[in-house]
Amino acid sequence: MSDPRLRDADPEDDAFVPARALVADIEAAIDAGDGPALNGLLDPLHGADVADLIEQLTPQRRGRLLRLYSGEIDAEILSEIDESIREEVIEALPREVVAEAVREMDTDDVVDLVEDLDAPEREEILSALDAEDRVAVEQSLTWPEYSAGRLMQSEVVTAPEHWTVGETIDFLRREEWLPDQFYHVVLIDPRRRPIGYVTLGRLLSSPRATPLRDLTEDSFRSIRATAEEADVAYLFNQYHLISAPVVDEADRLVGVITIDDAMSVLDEEHEEDILLLAGVGDESSISDTVVETARQRVPWLGANVLTALLAAGVIAFFEDSIASLVALAVLMPIVASLGGNAATQTLTVVVRGLATKSLTPSNVWRIVRRETIVGLMNGAMFGAVMAVVAYVWFRDAELSGVIAAAMIINLTVAAVGGILVPLALDRMGQDPALASPTFVTMLTDVIGFMAFLGLATWILL
- Report how far residue 170's alpha carbon sits from residue 161's, in angstroms, rounded to the nearest whole number: 16
Task: Give the range of 29-37, 88-96, 128-136, 343-351 binding its own copies by CB under 8 A.
Answer: 343-351
Residue whose C-alpha is closest to residue 266's, from 224, 232, 239, 223: 232
**Could you say whether residue 358 binds its own copies (CB under 8 A)?**
yes
Torsion of CA 285, 288, 294, 295, to 10 degrees: -80
Applying CB under 8 A, which of residues 111, 338, 406, 419 lies at the interface with its own copies? 338
The residue within the footprint of its own copies, chosen from 37, 39, 49, 121 (CB under 8 A), is 49
Using CB under 8 A, which of the segments 86-94, 97-105, 118-126, 203-211 binds its own copies?
203-211
| Nearest distance from C-beta of residue 94 to its own copies, angstroms | 26
Taking CB under 8 A as the criterion, the residue among 113, 256, 349, 455 binding its own copies is 349
How many other C-beta atoms can be found within 10 angstroms of the C-beta atom of residue 74? 15
Residue 266 found at the interface with its own copies (CB under 8 A): yes
CA distance 355 to 349: 10
Binder of its own copies out of 50, 93, 102, 342 (CB under 8 A)? 342
Contact residue for its own copies among 196, 417, 432, 454 (CB under 8 A): 196
Among positions 222-261, residues that touch its own copies (CB under 8 A) are 222-224, 226-228, 231, 234-242, 247, 251, 259-260
Chosen residue from 263, 388, 459, 461 binding its own copies by CB under 8 A: 263
- Is residue 206 near its own copies by the rule CB under 8 A? yes
Q: Which of residues 5-24 bind its own copies (CB under 8 A)?
A: 6-7, 9, 11-12, 14-18, 20, 23-24
To its own copies, the closest distance from the beta carbon of 409 in angstroms equals: 16
Question: b/e string for 379-407 if b means 16 or more Cβ within 10 A?
Answer: beebbeebbeebbeebeeeebbbbbbbbb
Q: Checking phi first, is residue 33 left (phi over 0); if not, alpha (psi -120 to 50) or beta?
A: left
Closest approach of its own copies to the CB of residue 263, in Å: 5
Smallest gap from Cβ 277 to its own copies, in A, equals 7
**Site for its own copies contains 385 (CB under 8 A):** yes
Tell me the closest approach of the beta carbon of residue 227 to its own copies, in angstroms: 5
Please work out, in degrees rounded to the nearest 5, the angle formed at the alpha carbon of residue 204 by the alpha carbons of 199 and 209: 105
**Of residues 308, 384, 420, 435, which one binds its own copies by CB under 8 A?**
308
Whether the CB-CB separation of 194 and 245 falls below 8 Å is answered with: yes
Contact call for residue 392 and its own copies (CB under 8 A) = no
Measured from the CB atom, the residue of 32 and 178 that comes closer to its own copies is 178
**Between β-strands 243-247 and 253-258, what pairing exists: parallel, antiparallel or unpaired?**
antiparallel
Q: Establish if 381 lies at the interface with its own copies (CB under 8 A).
A: yes
Instruction: State yes or no: residue 61 binds its own copies (CB under 8 A).
Output: no
Identify which range of 86-94, 118-126, 132-140, 221-229 contacts its own copies by CB under 8 A. Answer: 221-229
Q: How far is the CB of 376 from its own copies (least distance, A)?
A: 10
- The identity of residue 72, as a single letter, is E
Helices 131-141 and 107-114 meet at what angle, rounded to 10? 60
Per CB under 8 A, 84 contacts its own copies: no
Subset of 135-164 contacting its own copies (CB under 8 A): 157
Burial of 20 (0-12, 13-18, 19+ CB in 10 A): exposed
Q: Does 55 bind its own copies (CB under 8 A)?
A: yes
Q: Which is nearer to its own copies, 139 or 226 (CB)?
A: 226
Q: Segment contacting its own copies (CB under 8 A): 31-39, 100-108, 131-139, 196-204?
A: 196-204
Task: Please enumerate in sequence order all residues whose Cβ is within 8 A of that of 78, keeping only pairs 6 or more positions apart, or say none.
Answer: 51, 89, 98, 101, 102, 105, 113
Between 190 and 429, CB nearer to its own copies:
429
Asked if residues 435 and 300 have their Cβ atoms less than 8 Å apart, the reply is no
Report the nearest approach of its own copies to the CB of residue 182 (Å). 5
Question: Per rule CB under 8 A, is residue 28 in the interface with its own copies?
Answer: no
Q: Where are the alpha helices (DSSP H) in 279-363?
A: 290-317, 319-324, 327-355
Integer-rounded Cα Rg, in Å, for the chain is 29
Closest CA to 90 of 112, 56, 120, 113: 113
Selected binder of its own copies within 45, 99, 172, 435 (CB under 8 A) = 172
Stretch that binds its own copies, among 44-52, 66-74, 88-96, 132-140 (CB under 8 A): 44-52
Q: How far is CA 438 from CA 304, 312, 373, 375, 429, in A?
A: 7, 16, 23, 19, 18
* Measured torsion, CA atoms of residues 90, 96, 99, 105, in degrees rounded to the nearest 10: -90
Q: Phi and psi of 158, rounded to 5°?
A: -120, 160
Tell which one of 143, 163, 182, 439 touches its own copies (CB under 8 A): 182
Q: Closer to its own copies by CB, 11 or 120: give it.
A: 11
d(Cα 83, Cα 89) in Å, to the nearest integer? Answer: 10
**CB neighbours of residue 225 within 10 Å:** 24
Contact status: 384 vs its own copies (CB under 8 A): no
- Beta carbons of 439 and 393 less than 8 angstroms apart: no
Say whether residue 98 binds its own copies (CB under 8 A).
no
